[in-house]
Amino acid sequence: MTVQIEMPQLSEEDEGATLATWLVSVGDRVEKGEVIAEVETDKSTVELEAPASGTILEFLVEEGAEGIMPGAVLGTIDAEGVSADPDPTPNERSGAPIEPSPAAATARETPTEGDAAANDHSLQSPAAEKSFLRDSTPLARRAAVDREVDLASLAGSGPGGRVLEQDVLRSADRIPQTIEAGPGAREVDTRAPSSERTDGIQTVRLSAMRKTIARRMTEAKQQVPHFYLRVRCRMDAIFDVRTNLNRDLADQGRDVKISVNDFVVRAAGLALRAVPEANVRFAGDEMLALEDVDIAVAVATDGGLVTPVLRDVDQKGLATLATEIKELAQLARAGKLRPDQYQGGSFTISNLGMYGVETVYPILNLPQACILGVGAAEEQPVVSDGEITIGRVASFTLAADHRVVDGAVAAQLLAALRERLEDPLCMML
């Protein structure tokens, strides 16, 4: 019986994905659940498992193909007679080579960046090639080819010692270069493979993530009526409470450190619960009122901005949120987020305060109706009880979708946020 290898649905928006790497070859025997390919979405790299045990008959989609939609057939497996031999010997698993179909032959004969990386490391056998591919991510292999780095010489920092893109970049010690172009200059990210360079201008191919970011941001800004409201919050109490909490956690031997951003996430979750009219989405002729308070936190990665989602924020304490945010950020930077870890969300927080940015005017993360931009907490003159004192003040800017959120509702949400940030002890209850 022939079983089709299909592209799974990896995003609730049904956006296309990129087939990064086949980890097996035509003629290989595979077991159901064995990882046979890696697929790149705009958020992460996902492992594709074999839908059945059997022999790979053909590949219908070549490595590097982009925009593959859910349900598309990637290849086929001959599943006949496999159940009678659930534990084949290594010799049996190698099997006799099977002639691929014309489509499969075309797919395998087309050189790809993954093939170039494999050839560059003198892989001598299919088993060695599969081991090599499994021990490094597609982004790492592309970066290695671009920088002429020997992957075999690197100690991976990923799960099971897997080599990640950041390992290659660290080894190459490469930074964005300033390219002169006319009277000004611009920075070019040398981590992406360049396709052309003339007259001091380097053309860089966009990654699948960057293409998706470009499209979604353009749609959001052009199609959604944004409006912005800004408040300034005293942050002195946050810093004092944070210091005490971290000291208590250290005394308890807990490996958790609470950041200012954790307080902001917690305050936003409680504010959304207090102002449910802002916890909504626009849906054509309808408005969706969301019961759960799920907040996406923007994380900067080498490939672009990723927004993993924290679930039920209003029901979790600061220590729990701090742990979850740290874990999700690590997965995002390693390209290992599962679809359920970045899909959905009713609200996004983009914090650039750690870079010294005073005010952030963010673009909505569709289909969400609100996003909060967080600036740096800086010492400023403030008036307290009729006297001028020095205090730490941060700027919070809310961007909202005017189709479903009115100015009064957005103002109530910011007021609820400020109330909790300026009196953080209320968040402990």
402 catalytic? Reply is: yes
Q: List b or e across 76-109, with b for residues whose CB sees 16 or more CB atoms inside 10 angstroms.
A: bbbbeebeeeeeeeeeeeeeeebebbeebeebbe
* Residue 424 CB burial class (10 angstroms; 0-12, 13-18, ≥19): buried
Let me know: does 64 contact 87? Beta carbons within 8 Å. no
Decide if 4 contacts 48 (C-beta within 8 A).
Answer: no
Ordered DSSP codes for 376-393: --EEEEEEETTEEEEEEE
In the block, tokens 């980890």 appear at 23
For 321, the token pair is: 């949120």
Separation between Cα atoms, residue 291 and residue 369, nearest integer Å: 14
**Exposure string for 319-352, b = 16+ CB within 10 A, e = fewer:** bebbbbbeebbebbbbbbbebebbbbbbbbbbbb
Query: Can you say whether residue 285 is alpha, beta or left, with left for phi > 0 and alpha for psi between -120 and 50 degrees?
Result: alpha
User: Which of 147, 211, 402, 418 is labelled catalytic?
Assistant: 402
Give CA–CA dist 54/77, Å, rounded: 6
Q: Supply the residues annotated as catalytic.
A: 402
